[in-house]
Structure 1
Amino acid sequence: MKLVRAEYQELTKYMEHLRPTRQCMKMLKEKFSSQSQSTLLSIFSQEYQKRIKRSHARHHTAEAIENYYQSLSFLRYLSEVRKNLTAPVLLELANEVDFSPSLMARMVLERYLQELEGTPPSKPVLNSMLREPSLIPDRFLANQVYQCTINDCCYGPLVDCIKHAIGQEHEILLRDMLRERNLSFLDENQLRAKGYDKPDIILEVPIAVEGHVVHWIESKASFGDEYSHRSYLHDQFWSYWNRFGPGLVIYWHGFIEELDCHRERGILLKDCFPLDIVTLCHSSSQS
C-alpha cells in the first residue's frame, strides 16, 4: 500500500512512544484499521530500530550493562519473584529503560557468561544460547532470555528468522508470477553463479511497465520509507541501473508515494506485482 508522506508521518508520530510488544501491534491495527498488519509492523519495526540506534550507545556502556546485570541479580531474590519464577523481570526492566528486550537479554547474557567463564563468550556461543535459551546453565536467566526474545517484535533471533522467511516467500512469489506470464529470467542463484550477487531478478528479455522499460526486478519484503529507500538507492539500485539499465523495485509492504520520483531516470517503484506488463511479443504484434 502506498502512503502519501503526510499519512506516513501521522503513523510514525503515533508510534513514537510505543514498545515492541504484541499489544502495541493490536493498538496500531485498531487505530489505523485501513492499513494492513504487515505494513504497520514493517513501519513500526523500522521506526523502532531508528529509535534504538539513537540510544544504543547509552545502554551499551560498561557501566550501564553492569547496572542492568546487578539489577536483575537483585530483583530475582525479591519475594514475589521467588514465588513466581516465570515473572518477566528482565522484560520489565527493558521496558522501564525503553530498550529492546532482545538486545537487553543479549547484553545481560554476555555479562553472565563472562563472569561464569572468566572471558567474554564467543559470538557463536552467545548466538546459540539466544536461539536456544535452554542451553543457558542458569534456569532463571534462561527463562528471562526466552521471555525477552518472544516478546520483542523488532529484534532477536526469532524476528530474524521470520524476516528471512518472509523475504524468501516473496522472492518465490515473484518467480512464480514471472513464470505464470512466461517471462524468461535469471534469479539470484543463477546470477551468483555468473558472479553477480544482486539484483533478485534479471529479465532475459526486457518488459515495459506503465510505459517504462524494465530490465531487472528487486523484491523488498518491507515498507519503503525515506531512510531505507535512500540507502538502497545508494548501495544497490543505482549500481543495478549502471550495470543492467532501468529496473523495477517492489516494496511488498508499501512505500511513501513521493519516493517514486526516479521513473524517468530508470527506477520504478511498485507495491505489488505489475498487472499491465507489455512484452516484446505484444509490442511486435501490435505494430
Structure 2
Amino acid sequence: MTSPPPPGIAARHAPLLPPTSTSRPSQECAPNAATSNLRLARAGLGHPPPVISTRMRTGCRESRTIMKLGKSRYKEIVRFIATLKPTRQCMKRLMERFPCQSPSTLLSIFSQEYQKLMKKTHSRHHTTEAVEHYYSRYLKDVTENPSAPILLDLANEVDFSPALMARIILERFLQDQDGPAPSKPVLNSMLRDPSLIPDPVLANQVHQCIVNDCCNGPWVDSIKHSVGYEHEVLLREKLIERGLAFLDEDQLRNKGYDKTPDVILEVPIAVDGHVIHWIESKASFGDENSHSTYLQEQFWSYWNRLTADCTILYIALRFGPGLVIYWHGFIEELDCNRERGILLKDEFPDNIVTLLDCTAQESGHGFHAEGKTEKSQETM
C-alpha cells in the first residue's frame, strides 16, 4: 500500500500513467506495433522499440504474456537469475531465456531475488574492516583515475549493490570531514541529490552508482512508489467503470480504521463464486516470502481481528473475505486460501457478479415462471 497524493474521493480522478505498463499485448498485434514504430523512426518522428520487445513473444502460443507461474517454472527463473549480474543487460537475457513471460513479471522477480541476496550479505559489507577496505581502495583508485567509475566497478567486483556501496563510501567520507557519523536525513538528501556532496569527484561517483543500480537507491524507490500508486489508481478506475461503490484507504482512515486494504466495497461482489468485500492492489510479483509476510501483516487482519474479553480470546469479523491483485503475477500454488477468504488474481477480474446481476437474474426467472404458469392455465 502506498500513500497517494490526492486524499479521499479525489484520488478517483487522478490521471493514470500510460497504460502500457499494465496492458498485456497479444502476439498478433506485436508485429504491427513494431512496424508502426519503425515507420515513425524512419520519418524522424520516433524510435523503433528494442528488438527484444518484438521478438520476445515469438513462439508463444498464449494470446497474452504469462503472469501467473507454477512453482517449478518460478524456481527455474530464480535459478537462472542467480547466474546474472545486476547490469543493464540482465533483463534482455531474462526475456530471451523466457520469451513467453511478461517483462514486468521477470523484472519483479529479479528485483525480489536481488533484494534477498543483499539482505543475506548486508552485514558482511558493513563490518568495520570491510568499510575501511572499501574506502582506502576508493581513495587509492580515485587518485590514479578520478574519471573512472571506481565505486561502480568496486560494487560489481564484490557483488554488492552500487547504491548501497555509494552510501557506505559517502558516510565514511563525511566522517572524515566532520568527525561524527552524519545523520540519516543528511545522508539521504545527498544520495537523492549528489550535487550536495562537497567533493565533486565523489558526487560524480555516487551519481554513477545511483543511476546504474536497477534495484536499490532513491530513484528506484521513487519509481516503485509511483508504480504502486499507478496501480492503485488503475484499480479505482476499474471499479468506477463497473459502477461499483467503494471507500478508499484515506476515507477508511478518516473513519478510524488503522490497518485497511486499498478499497472496501460498499456492496459486496462475487468472483469465481466467492464473496468479495475488499480489494488490495500489489504492484509486484507474489512469491512465497512476500505473500507469507503480507498474509500475516495485512491480509488476515483485513479478514478478522483478535479480541479479548476478560479471559476469553475470540476472533471477530473485521472486513470479511477479499481479493488481492498481484499485477505482476504470482505463484499459482499460493492461491490456496480461497475457502478461508483470500483470493488471488493477476488482473482486475472480468467475471464479477454484482447484487444487481443476481436481482435481475431472479426477476428473469420469476417472470419466466409466471409466463409458464399463465400459458398452462390457458391450455387448461
TM-score (norm: length of structure 1): 0.97
Q: Percent identity?
A: 68
The letter of the residue matching 1:281 is: L
Corresponding residue SS for 1:22: coil
Q: Which has the higher contact order (CA 8 A, sep 6+)?
A: 1
Corresponding residue SS for 1:244: coil
Q: Does 1:234 align with 2:234?
A: no
Between the aligned partners of 1:231 and 1:4, the Cα distance in structure 2 is 20
Q: CA deviation at 1:17?
A: 3.2
Residue 106 of structure 2: which of 4, 17, 40 is its match? 40
Q: CA deviation at 1:150?
A: 0.8
Question: Unmatched 5+ residue regions in structure 1?
Answer: none
What does residue 220 of structure 1 align with? 282
What does residue 140 of structure 1 align with? 201
Between the aligned partners of 2:327 and 2:261, the Cα distance in structure 1 is 16
Corresponding residue SS for 1:268: strand
Between the aligned partners of 2:111 and 2:84, the Cα distance in structure 1 is 11
Q: Does 1:195 align with 2:256?
A: yes
Cα deviation 1:242-285 (Å, max 9, x = unaligned): 11000000000000000000001110000000000000111111
Cα deviation 1:30-87 (Å, max 9, x = unaligned): 1111112211110000001111111111111111111111110011122xx24xx1x2
Cα deviation 1:188-243 (Å, max 9, x = unaligned): 11112112242100000000001000000000000000000000001100000111
| Residues 130 and 145, structure 1, Cα contact 8 Å, conserved in 2 | yes
Q: Does 1:262 align with 2:337?
A: yes
What does residue 66 of structure 1 align with? 132
Corresponding residue SS for 1:119: coil
Corresponding residue SS for 2:165: helix
Between the aligned partners of 2:170 and 2:92, the Cα distance in structure 1 is 30
Residue 92 of structure 1: which of 150, 153, 170 is its match? 153
User: Where does 1:121-140 land on structure 2 (aligned, <5 Å)?
Assistant: 121-140=182-201
Q: Does 1:163 align with 2:224?
A: yes
What does residue 113 of structure 1 align with? 174
Cα deviation 1:120-153 (Å, max 9, x = unaligned): 1111110000000011111111111111111111
Between the aligned partners of 1:39 and 1:249, the Cα distance in structure 2 is 16
Between the aligned partners of 2:347 and 2:327, the Cα distance in structure 1 is 6
Between the aligned partners of 2:103 and 2:222, the Cα distance in structure 1 is 18
Query: After alignment, is 152-161 or 13-22 more displaced?
Result: 13-22
Question: What is the count of residue pairs matched by the alignment?
Answer: 282
| Residues 20 and 151, structure 1, Cα contact 8 Å, conserved in 2 | no
The list of structure 1 runs, each at least 4 consecutive aligned residues, that deviate by more than 3 angstroms after superposition, is none
Between the aligned partners of 1:133 and 1:160, the Cα distance in structure 2 is 16
CA RMSD of aligned residues (A): 0.9
What does residue 29 of structure 1 align with? 95
| Residues 213 and 247, structure 1, Cα contact 8 Å, conserved in 2 | yes
Between the aligned partners of 2:172 and 2:92, the Cα distance in structure 1 is 34
Q: Does 1:278 align with 2:353?
A: yes
What does residue 209 of structure 1 align with? 271
Between the aligned partners of 2:204 and 2:236, the Cα distance in structure 1 is 41
